[in-house]
Amino acid sequence: MHRSRTTARPCVVLVTGASSGIGEATARLAAVRGDHVVLLARGADSLERVAVDCEALGAASTLVVPTDMADDSQVAAAVSAAVARHGRLDVVVGSAGVVAYGRIPDVPVDVFDRVVSTNLLGSVNLARHALPVLRGQGGGEGAGSLVLVGSVIGHIAVPDMAAYVVSKWGVRGLVRQLRVDNRDRPGVRLGYVAPGGVDTPIYRQAATYGDSVGRPPFPVSPPETIARRVLAVADHPWRGGQVGVSNDAIRFGFTALPWVYDRLVGPLFSVVAQDLVAPVVRGPGNVLASQQDGNGLRGHQGSALRGIGANLVEVVRRRMAARGSARPQAQDS
């Protein structure tokens, strides 16, 4: 809701996942516009850091509300705190998310469930408590925007990311359902943004139960690009929510050529969306609890093209090693 188009007063912008990555970038952009910024995430110290930055960037005000999006009561309290402070909500952005790498049998139940409860049910919790506020504004027509951040992975399937795939498919379905359910309030705008690879810390902070470390897939967008799209979609929810030059091609392959997609996605994904060289440290990452020392605007995993090059070299090395170890066995037989 850009003030130049709708109103002279600052907007009230509530952002979840505001301690890092896309959420932080969105909060900072709202601050530059002079909005009131309400910051939600699990990590209180990280939120305070972002609040200081937002105030320096020109925010009309900041409100820090440490919140676990998987806890419905905490989400309810956070929305209530924002409304108590400002009397309204203009833009609500759901960008909190966590990732787990590994096949379903390998990912512990509590980690798998937590990914789904944070990404999908956290979005449900946000909608449950923010939408009544938006619907009650605007003199019976409703007023304001709810934008949920999904992923291109919510349109496809990829190896070793079952929990994330399930959760992001659910977010996409949730937005579509909310649009149907809220047609009686034309002033309520419901938006969806699906990024491709983004340079954020989420990959390094992910739970890892596979044989490699995740990295943002090429081509990689800066988080500020996604933030700009999020706030644009808040005004124009039917504007395309895909962000990433390869998103449409990937989705086309998944839908129109499934037999080709399924054959190629494994080898391609390992090269463009994983780090085959970095040491693997298995564990829950930040899924079960915030790891604030890893929070930040960007992920700093280096050049995507260099990463792909290093992965290709590693693939060749592994194949040569496998052939070398197989030869003596063949001779012995």
pLDDT at position 249, please? 87
Per mean pLDDT, which of 47-51, 156-160, 258-262 is the most reliable?
47-51
pLDDT tens-digit series, residues 271-318: 888 888 888 999 999 999 999 999 999 998 888 888 889 878 888 888
Among 76-90, 131-145, 216-230, top mean pLDDT goes to 76-90
Give this prediction's pTM. Answer: 0.92
Which range (126-135, 152-161, 187-196, 212-221) has the least confidence?
212-221
Radius of gyration, alpha carbons of the chain:
21
Measure the CA dihedral 262/266/269/271, to 10°. -140
Positive or negative CA dihedral for 304, 223, 99, 289? positive
The confidence band for 1, taking pLDDT boundaries of 50, 70 and 90, is very low
Contact predicate 153/168, CB 8 Å: yes
Q: In whole angstroms, give the CA distance from residue 251 to residue 242.
A: 10
- Give the amino acid at 206: A
**What are the tens digits of pLDDT across the range 47-93?**
999 999 999 999 999 999 999 999 999 999 999 999 999 999 999 99
Question: For residue 327, what pLDDT is reported?
Answer: 67
**Average pLDDT, whole number, for the chain?**
92
- Structural domain 3-327, CATH architecture: 3-Layer(aba) Sandwich (3.40)
Q: What are phi and psi of 147, to 5 degrees?
A: -120, 125
Place of tokens 């009397």: 87
Q: How far is residue 10's CA from residue 87's CA, in Å, rounded to a whole number?
A: 13
What type of residue sits at position 86? H
Q: Can you state the angle between helices 21-32 and 223-235, rounded to 10 degrees?
A: 60
**What's CA 263's distance to the chain center, in Å?**
27
At 2, the pLDDT band (50, 70, 90 cuts) reads very low
Residues noted as catalytic? 164
With 0-12 / 13-18 / 19 or more C-beta atoms within 10 angstroms meaning exposed / middle / buried, residue 231 is buried
Q: Do the beta carbons of residue 160 and residue 210 sit within 8 Å?
A: yes
